[in-house]
Amino acid sequence: MGAIFMSLVELRGIKKYFDKVRAVDGVDLEIDEGEFLVILGPSGCGKTTLMRMIAGLENPTAGQVFIGGADVTALPPRKRGVSMVFQSYALYPHMNVFNNIAFPLKAQRREKKFDRRAIRGKVVDTARLLEIDMLLDRRPRQLSGGQRQRVAIARAMVTQPAVILLDEPLSNLDAKLRANARDELKEFQRSSNITAVFVTHDQIEAMGLGDRIVVMSDGKIQQVGTPQLIYDDPANEFVATFLGSPSMNILRADAWSFGFRPENFLPKTLADNPENSRIFDYYVKRVEYLGSDRLVYGYIRGRDSELTLAKVPSNVRVSLDVDSDYEFAVHNSDIKFFDRVSGQRIEHQDLGGVV
């Protein structure tokens, strides 16, 4: 392509239809070198399909894939310099760990001119890096979930691909192992400076790992940005409610709706800037004690049909009694407005007549 800077991977107008199912429906995306990009979205939104098209396992119905500036849309996976870790890890069950990791090297030995000794060296080095060098003789079924995941990553890394694609690689691990693996994966990516595309439907994973997050739904990209941008400045109602737990409170007006996050909805006495805040009369129906936070269920007076949540830190000494009314405040900048029809963010509206 031209002399202008180009991102490592670029998707242009990518679509994939399976008969009538629009798995991916017009995606434009640029992935920079050395970036950890997370694709986040609910189940069935087309994340895996999108990733398979980057890998070359699926032919797009329309659109182009560029890697390193070259159009690879028509190229098979082996010519793309991409490696992949499947959700199931897809380890070759009849090969030991050594041969699993060596497989891509052997398969590409002619193109890349690896000899036997070089292969052994690379496998051992990669295994050492991932701390699985003592497992090289084992078969996959003799490994724990965490060990399998490392073998799969080692196999994907060993050829030093331009991009590594990871499809929910942590979802088979238990919660504790998962947090650990997340940390290690990020550390590993940073130190090896590899470009990673990581698919997940777990927002905590996405927020923790991603340099940038791509939020998808129904085969379309909803928003791309840093975790903070996506959380604090959602482009539309879907992104606003998909991220955050519990999710953003949404209240309807005629032509638009507005929302604020439960953690930004606090008793007025706690608000640090009451002049710039909106005050609501809040009726507390029920309080859940969650350890570090109290989750408050209730509604804003005059809006009795819309359940509104507040998340109040436990360490602040405000008593919140059930069946009582309090004044709660939200900072004006924490209130987001959305178009009722399109769901897109719109500018601030006057809340005067609404609440």
Partner 1 sequence: MASVTGLSNPRAYLLDNRRFVGIMFLLPALVYILLLVGFPFLLAIAFGFSDVTVGNTDLSFVGFRNYEAVWENNIFRQVFGNTVMFTLVSQFFILIFANILAIIFTQEFTGKWFARFIFILPWATPVSLAAIGWLYMFDTKLSPVDYLLLQTGFLGPDGVWGPGRNLLWLARPALSQVSVIFVQVWRMTPLATVILMAGLSSIPTDILDQAEVDGSRFMRTLLQIKLPLILPIMVIALLFSMITMFGDMTVVYLLTRGGPIDYTRILGLYSFQIGIEGGNLAQGAAMALFAFPLLLALAIVMLRVASRAEVR
Ligand X SMILES: Nc1ncnc2c1ncn2[C@@H]1O[C@H](COP(=O)(O)OP(=O)(O)OP(=O)(O)O)[C@@H](O)[C@H]1O
What does the binding site for ligand X look like in residue numbers (CB under 6 A)?
18, 21, 23, 41, 43-49, 201
Stretch that binds partner 1, among 90-98, 203-211, 253-261, 336-344 (CB under 8 A): 90-98
Shortest Å distance, C-beta 44 to ligand X: 4
Nearer of residues 83 and 223 to partner 1, judged by Cβ: 83
Shortest Å distance, C-beta 83 to partner 1: 6
Beta bridge partners of 337: 258, 346
CA torsion 139-145-146-151 (nearest 10°) is 40
How are strands ordered across the β-sheet holding 308-313?
A: 266-267, 324-331, 277-289, 293-300, 308-313
- The C-alpha atoms of residue 246 and residue 142 are separated, in whole angstroms, by 40
Does residue 84 touch partner 1 according to CB under 8 A?
yes
Nearer of residues 48 and 257 to Mg ion, judged by Cβ: 48
Residue with tokens 């891509």: 104
- The C-alpha atoms of residue 297 and residue 67 are separated, in whole angstroms, by 49
Nearer of residues 83 and 217 to ligand X, judged by Cβ: 217
Cβ atoms of 27 and 63 closer than 8 Å? yes
Nearer of residues 219 and 298 to Mg ion, judged by Cβ: 219
Residue with tokens 């769901």: 343
Per CB under 5 A, contacts with Mg ion among 47-76 are: 48
- The C-alpha atoms of residue 250 and residue 257 are separated, in whole angstroms, by 7
Nearer of residues 47 and 182 to ligand X, judged by Cβ: 47
Q: Which amino acid is at 230?
A: I
- The C-alpha atoms of residue 16 and residue 217 are separated, in whole angstroms, by 14
Shortest Å distance, C-beta 99 to partner 1: 9
Report the residue from 41, 56, 60, 225 that binds partner 1 according to the rule CB under 8 A.
56
Stretch that binds partner 1, among 53-61, 199-207, 239-247, 276-284 (CB under 8 A): 53-61
Does residue 310 touch partner 1 according to CB under 8 A?
no
Nearer of residues 162 and 300 to partner 1, judged by Cβ: 162
- The C-alpha atoms of residue 213 and residue 224 are separated, in whole angstroms, by 6
**Residue 55 site contact among ligand X, partner 1, Mg ion, none (CB < 5 to 8 Å, cut-off depends on kind):** partner 1
Shortest Å distance, C-beta 33 to Mg ion: 25
Shortest Å distance, C-beta 232 to partner 1: 37
Residue 23's H or E segment, with its range, is strand 21-31
- The C-alpha atoms of residue 262 and residue 244 are separated, in whole angstroms, by 9
Instruction: Find, among 65, 59, 57, 55, the residue nearest to 27 by Cα.
Output: 65
Which residues have C-beta within 8 Å of that of residue 53, sequence separation ≥ 6? 11, 14, 16, 24, 59, 60, 65
Does residue 76 touch partner 1 according to CB under 8 A?
yes
Per CB under 8 A, contacts with partner 1 among 109-128 are: 111
Cβ atoms of 99 and 82 closer than 8 Å? no
Does residue 138 touch partner 1 according to CB under 8 A?
no
Nearer of residues 49 and 277 to Mg ion, judged by Cβ: 49
Q: Which residues bind Mg ion (CB under 5 A)?
A: 48
Residues that bind partner 1 (CB under 8 A): 52, 55-57, 76-78, 82-84, 86-88, 90, 92-94, 103-104, 106-108, 111, 139, 141, 155, 159
